[in-house]
Structures are given as structure tokens and as C-alpha cells.
């Protein structure tokens, strides 16, 4: 009997708590696969009072008996990955079951420089990237100039590929060096008496062919025990009747094709991308779990119809500790947007929803949910508008529901929740057209409510 593939995706603009959901469902799975994105994502898991933050390693790594894989659709900064590996080892976490796709692409030092330079150049029009080199890396992948994990294992090939990738970037990188020199001059560096001009004008080692090759060959030696054909490993698990979780980063509304372009990520975080990013077929996916907060947040620029710039917004920010795992930036906060959520449900064809951070709403007298948009010209939109000009100026129209005062962090069953909280969840499920299976009532792993009981094997 074939196994079950379960895809877990964000249903909003990211930061919904997917890591915790993956960690919970991984208990009854045999393998966990991260299928896209890079270290511009961050998952936080609290287990037994101890906090773990992941950027590249799948959230299931805390189970020593689970196979954890980084799929070919991920772009990988080996320095960041090795930092995660070393940090987890120091905390006693077993990394023996970590596997990295040989076909995953590598974020190179020049990608980070180009990402930063691009954002600075855009100024007020910047997209708000994390400046981790994600976009330039995916661009090189599409241009067939990418460096892959398997290239780390052959230094001659590695050197040739780095040389080929660097060549078309020389003009852009020269401009960057000119900017750096100009900034140094304005700051007075190199102009002081006795200053070492040769050092000031020395080539940036991050742009030097020999330095990069030597550095990345060293990463290859350390990562070699983990490098594998992860697609084949997925097939073996599924063909043996096992359950495999496919973990997405970011979220639906940040999807490169279907999100709020251009204020999106550089990959496809939707469920369909699990096939490409992990190397499986569409019929290998049996379930799709979407994760949404009980309210909405967004990091960086871009449209956010339900954003709040008032006391309620501050309540959500502070009570929800809404600061980015990767960047530390304050997240923009607002009411639950059901128009956008229903769009995400259909786009991913979700079979279940998880609502996280319901406890953050405790103490609010009235809860609001956006059920439609009104354009600047007064047109009503019951569905997510495809035209960006409409979305940028859209005003949400709300339905109001009664709030609740009780602290719900100790609730462990649906019956424990206040009637108002249950009514809020029911409204979301009915509007979105998909059942809610799991509710987060606190940051801890055990602070959850299973709707209909814990399903065990999902």
C-alpha cells in the first residue's frame, strides 16, 4: 500500500507557526522534507521549555529516528547550515539522519552582495528582502549558472562553475566595489596619514575565485556525509507505505507566481511546489495542511489590507511576540483576512487548517474578520483580486464577533475553550470551506487543542 504524503504550507504571509505543526505531525511520520526557500525563513519550536530556531534544517530533526531531508528546491548557504548543525550538536541533538539533496543550489557570497546592493539601489521602492542572497541564487539557477551541492565534491568542477558564474556579474560587482570605496572615502578611511592603502583597496575575498573555491571545498568535506539522492529516499519511504511530511517555508501570499508580486519570495511556497522541490509526483500528496494565525502578520513591504496601526495592533505585536525569527524585525499586525485565507485554501486545495496563536486574542472585547474588500472606486470584491492596483488600495469590510477574556493556554480540548473562541473558529472554518483540525493556544509544543481529538497517524 502506498504511503501518505502530507504537505504543510503557510496560509498567509509567513510566520504562522509551521515549525510547531511539523514537529507535532512528525511524531507519526517517518520522514520530513523541506522543499523550497532558504535561510530567509525561520521556524521556532518550544519543546520541554527549551527553544529551538531553525532556518534550513527541517523541524523534525528533534526526532532522532526520523529521516530529515533538505530537498532539491531549497537554496542553501552552507555556512549557515553548518552553523545550525554545530549549534544543534552542542545541544545534544543527533544529526545522523540529516540528508541534503545533491541537486540543491548553493547561495554564494556574491549572491548576498548583489541582494544587498539591489535593495539599496531600489531605496524607497525596495521589496524588503532579508538580504540573504535568496533571489540572486534562484536567478542563477534559472540562468543555468548555479552551483549545486554536488559540485562541492569535485574542486575542479567547483572552480570552473564559480568562474563561469562570476564572469557575467563583473560589471555589477565592479559598481558595488566603487560604491564601497566611495563610502570608505566619505567615512575618512584610507585617507588618514599612514593608512594602509593596499589593505583599503584589496579585493573583497567574497569576490575572489581562489578564496571562494577554497572556502566552499572545505564546506564540501564537512557536508559530504549528509549529501544524498533525496528524491529517491522519498520514493523509498512512500513506496514502503510510510508517511512523509513536506515542509514549506514562507507562505502562500508570498508565492512568486500567486502572491502579492513583486512583494513576494523568490520561490513557490504552495503545496504544488512540493512535487518539484522534493522530486515526487502529484499523486504522492494525500493531504495538505494549511497553517494560519488567528490574526494576520506580514514582514517587509507590500499590501496588507487588514493592517492595524492602533492599540489593537500593538496588542497583537506584544502579546504575540511578533518579531522575525530570521531578521528580528517587527512584524506588521492586523485582523484575520478571510478573503485571502479562502484564496490560499483553494490555491493549495487544503484538506485541513491549523489556527495558531488563538491565545493572543484573549482580552479583546471584539474580534473582527475581513469578509470582502471595497476598492477605491467603491467596487466590492468577495474574492482575492488579481490586479495589484486594486489590492494595494483595497479597504476591508469586516464582520464582528464577540471576543473572550479567559486565559486559554491551559485548554487541551475543544470543550475547554470559551464559547466565543469556539464560535470564532467555526466562523473561520465555514468561511474558508475547510475543517480546522488543530489550534495553538500557547508557544509550547503541548499547548494545542486537537479538534475532534488527536488523530494519531494522520
The DSSP annotation for 164-229 comes to: HHHGGGHHHHHHHHHHHHHHHHHTTTTTSTT--HHHHTSPPGGG-HHHHHHHHHHHHHHHGGGEE-
pTM: 0.89
Residue ranges of the domains in the chain? 4-102+229-450, 106-225
Q: Taking residues 50-70, report their average pLDDT.
A: 89
Residue 83: the pLDDT is 94
Find cell 469590510 and name the residue: 397
Continuous segment of H or E residues that includes residue 410 = none
How far is residue 407's CA from residue 243's CA, in Å, rounded to a whole number? Answer: 35
- As a whole number, the mean pLDDT across the chain is 89
Say what angle helices 209-223 and 155-166 make with each other, to 10 degrees: 140
Q: Let me know: does 35 contact 246? Beta carbons within 8 Å.
A: yes
Q: β-pairing, 352-356 with 285-293?
A: parallel
Q: What's the pLDDT tens digit per position in 99-156?
A: 999 999 999 999 988 877 665 555 555 555 667 889 999 999 999 999 999 999 999 9
Residue 257: the pLDDT is 97
Q: Let me know: does 277 contact 72? Beta carbons within 8 Å.
A: yes
Q: Taking residues 331-359, report their average pLDDT.
A: 98
User: Of the ranges 65-79, 111-125, 328-342, which one carries the lowest mean pLDDT score?
Assistant: 111-125
Which of the four pLDDT bands, split at 50, 70 and 90, describes residue 212?
Answer: very high
Q: What's the pLDDT tens digit per position in 262-298?
A: 999 999 999 999 999 999 999 999 999 999 999 999 9
Q: What's the pLDDT tens digit per position in 386-430?
A: 998 899 999 999 999 999 999 999 999 999 999 999 999 999 999
Which of the four pLDDT bands, split at 50, 70 and 90, describes residue 199?
Answer: very low
How far is residue 448's CA from residue 23's CA, in Å, rounded to a whole number? Answer: 12
Residue 198: the pLDDT is 36
Give the closest residue to 224 by CA, choosing from 162, 150, 147, 146.
Answer: 150
Other beta carbons within 10 angstroms of residue 35's beta carbon come to: 32
Q: What's the pLDDT tens digit per position in 309-327?
A: 999 999 999 999 998 766 6
Residue 325: the pLDDT is 64
The grid cell for 455 is 488523530
CATH classification for the domain delimited by 4-102+229-450, as one of 3.40.440.10, 3.55.40.20, 1.20.120.1200, 3.30.56.10? 3.40.440.10
Residue 89: the pLDDT is 93
Q: What's the pLDDT tens digit per position in 223-249?
A: 999 999 999 999 999 999 999 999 999
How far is residue 361's CA from residue 315's CA, in Å, rounded to a whole number? Answer: 9
Query: DSSP strand E in 278-417: where?
Result: 285-293, 296-298, 332-334, 336-337, 352-356, 364-374, 380-381, 395-404
Separate counts of helices (H) and strands (E) for the chain: 14, 20
Q: Let me know: does 251 contact 245? Beta carbons within 8 Å.
A: no
Residue 193: the pLDDT is 42
Q: Let me know: does 415 contact 434? Beta carbons within 8 Å.
A: no
- Judged against a pLDDT cut of 60, whether residue 213 lies above it is answered with yes
232-236 CB contacts, 8 Å cutoff, 24+ apart = 233/31, 233/67, 233/69, 233/99, 234/31, 234/33, 234/69, 234/278, 234/279, 234/280, 234/284, 235/279, 235/280
Fold entry, domain 106-225: Adenylosuccinate Synthetase, subunit A; domain 2 (1.10.300)
- Active site positions, annotated: 15, 43
How far is residue 10's CA from residue 299's CA, in Å, rounded to a whole number? Answer: 14
Amino acid at each position: 500500500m502506498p504511503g501518505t504524503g502530507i504537505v504543510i504550507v503557510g496560509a498567509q504571509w509567513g510566520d504562522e507557526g509551521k515549525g510547531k505543526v511539523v514537529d507535532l505531525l512528525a511524531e507519526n511520520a517517518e520522514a520530513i522534507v523541506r522543499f523550497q526557500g532558504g535561510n530567509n525563513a525561520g521556524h521556532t519550536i518550544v519543546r520541554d521549555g527549551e527553544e529551538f530556531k531553525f532556518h534550513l534544517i527541517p523541524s523534525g530533526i528533534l526526532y532522532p529516528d526520523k529521516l530529515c531531508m533538505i530537498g532539491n528546491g531549497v537554496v542553501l548557504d552552507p555556512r549557515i547550515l553548518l552553523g545550525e548543525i554545530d549549534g544543534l550538536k552542542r545541544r545534544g541533538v543527533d544529526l545522523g539522519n540529516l540528508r541534503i539533496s545533491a541537486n540543491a543550489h548553493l547561495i554564494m557570497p556574491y549572491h548576498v552582495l548583489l541582494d544587498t546592493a539591489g535593495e539599496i539601489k531600489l531605496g524607497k521602492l525596495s521589496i524588503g528582502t532579508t538580504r540573504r542572497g535568496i533571489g540572486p541564487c534562484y536567478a542563477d539557477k534559472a540562468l543555468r549558472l548555479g552551483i549545486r551541492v554536488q559540485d562541492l565534491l569535485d574542486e575542479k568542477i567547483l572552480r570552473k562553475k564559480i568562474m563561469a558564474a562570476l564572469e557575467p556579474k563583473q560589471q555589477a560587482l565592479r559598481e558595488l566595489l566603487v560604491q564601497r570605496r566611495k563610502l570608505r572615502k566619505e567615512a575618512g578611511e584610507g585617507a588618514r596619514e599612514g593608512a594602509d592603502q593596499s589593505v583599503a583597496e584589496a579585493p573583497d575575498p567574497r569576490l575572489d575565485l581562489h578564496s571562494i573555491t577554497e572556502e566552499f571545498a572545505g564546506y564540501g568535506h564537512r557536508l559530504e556525509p549528509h549529501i544524498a539522492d533525496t528524491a529517491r529516499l522519498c520514493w523509498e519511504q512512500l513506496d514502503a507505505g510510510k508517511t512523509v511530511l513536506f515542509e514549506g517555508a514562507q507562505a502562500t501570499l508570498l508565492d512568486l507566481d500567486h502572491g502579492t508580486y513583486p512583494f513576494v519570495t523568490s520561490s513557490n511556497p504552495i503545496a504544488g511546489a512540493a512535487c518539484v522541490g522534493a522530486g515526487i509526483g502529484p499523486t504522492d500528496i494525500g493531504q495538505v495542511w494549511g497553517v494560519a494565525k488567528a490574526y494576520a502578520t506580514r514582514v517587509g513591504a507590500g499590501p496588507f489590507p487588514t493592517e492595524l496601526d492602533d492599540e489593537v495592533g500593538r496588542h497583537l505585536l506584544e502579546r504575540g511576540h511578533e518579531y522575525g525569527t530570521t531578521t528580528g524585525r517587527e512584524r506588521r499586525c492586523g485582523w484575520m483576512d478571510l478573503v485571502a485565507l479562502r484564496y490560499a485554501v483553494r490555491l493549495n486545495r487544503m484538506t485541513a487548517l491549523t489556527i495558531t496563536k488563538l491565545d493572543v486574542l484573549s482580552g479583546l472585547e471584539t474580534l473582527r474578520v475581513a469578509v470582502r474588500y471595497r476598492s477605491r472606486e467603491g467596487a466590492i470584491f468577495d474574492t482575492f483580486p488579481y490586479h495589484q492596483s486594486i489590492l494595494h488600495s483595497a479597504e476591508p469590510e469586516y464582520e464582528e464577533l464577540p471576543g473572550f477574556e479567559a486565559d486559554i493556554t491551559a485548554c487541551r480540548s475543544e470543550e475547554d475553550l470559551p464559547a466565543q473562541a469556539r464560535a470564532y473558529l467555526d466562523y473561520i472554518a465555514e468561511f474558508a470551506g475547510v475543517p480546522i483540525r488543530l489550534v495553538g493556544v500557547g508557544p509550547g509544543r503541548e499547548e494545542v487543542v486537537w479538534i475532534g481529538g488527536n488523530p494519531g497517524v494522520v
